[in-house]
Amino acid sequence: MPSPIRKPLPAAPVWLPPNIWEQIESTGSDAFLAAYSHGLRIERWGETLRLVSPVPPSDSLRSSLLNPPAPDAWKPNRVLFHSEGTPTAEFLHGSGYSGEAKELGLTYGIDLTPGIAPGLFPDQRDNRIRLRSLRPQKLLNLFAHTCAFGAIAAADGAETLNIDSSARSLQRGKENYERNQLSGPRHRFWTEDVRRILPRLARRGEKFDVVILDPPTFAHGGRGRAFRIQRELEPLLLACLPLLAPCASMLLSINESNTTSASLETWARETLHREGISARLEPGQKPPDVPSDRMPATLWIFPED
């Protein structure tokens, strides 16, 4: 009888250095990648640590999770272990999947239920810092998910339009606005297929100071055809350009394993050149807790007159 296949043990995680941990916290953020190794990651979500690993933690790792090498002897109120692809998680300390986390001084609802996106992507933190520095008066947030880009712009006074095909994600986004006292008629949440809504916005003559284009790699089409990034990216990019106000900018973000920041910039430069569009391109920045080889690839586009 053949021996059972054993899952390889991940390497021991490397914890974020205390000075980087403190640097992130100094921005008003407590959602970040606290430790990482090949095949394993430890995420901080507010007062929670979540281990994502193909195998349960060893005794030494379990001890590190309960007493992490964090500044000021910080300890989590809740620790859970999740093996990706499984429907349940094991609580090593505390209980409950829902909670809150902060990023750049704003509060977001977090759901760590297996199979559900937590509700915030900390690997975009530095791009949200860049967005804040641009201080747009009007923001278009496409594939908005739970509206973190919208919230950071709204907190600085921008009018925002958040669009996503998932009503559930947008509801979580509305709740994030409410958590931060940002609700009001200047903020819109549309459950729409982005591919259909962009031409409508152009016909209405709407203009935006910043457009966030952060599409999924693949999504079911619902009433329309399925979304595949390889097919959809170019028409999406070109459909966004007429919506940019003078001196506006756009963030393009791709979370696809074969796309690097360099290849995304090359593709965008060639596409814009072919269309006769002059633009300054700047790669997006990854936060210091995100390993250089991890996605997403991001690019800021500044069209020139």
> Tens digit of pLDDT for each residue in 161-194?
999 999 999 999 999 999 999 999 999 999 999 9
Domains of the chain: 14-111 (3.30.750), 122-303 (3.40.50.150)
Does residue 149 surpass a pLDDT of 90?
yes
pLDDT band at 102 (very low <50, low <70, confident <90, very high): very high
| DSSP code for 55 | S
pLDDT at 127: 97
Question: 36-86, pLDDT tens digit by residue?
Answer: 998 899 999 999 999 999 999 999 999 999 999 999 999 999 999 999 888
CB 103 within 8 A of CB 115: no
Query: What is the identity of the amino acid at 203?
Result: R
**Model confidence pLDDT, tens digit, residues 198-207:** 999 999 999 9
155 has pLDDT over 60: yes
Where b means 16+ CB within 10 Å and e means fewer, 92-115 reads: beeeebebbbbbbebbbbbebeee
Identify each DSSP E strand in 112-265 by its residue range: 138-142, 159-164, 187-191, 208-213, 218-219, 227-228, 244-254
| Residue-wise pLDDT tens digits, 205-227 | 999 999 999 998 655 555 556 65
191-220 in b/e burial notation, b at 16+ Cβ within 10 A?
eebbbebbeebeeeeebbbbbbbbbebebe
DSSP lists the bridge partners of residue 108 as 101
What's the pLDDT score for residue 166?
A: 94
Rounded mean pLDDT of 89-103?
97
Torsion of CA 43, 46, 48, 49, to 10 degrees: 20
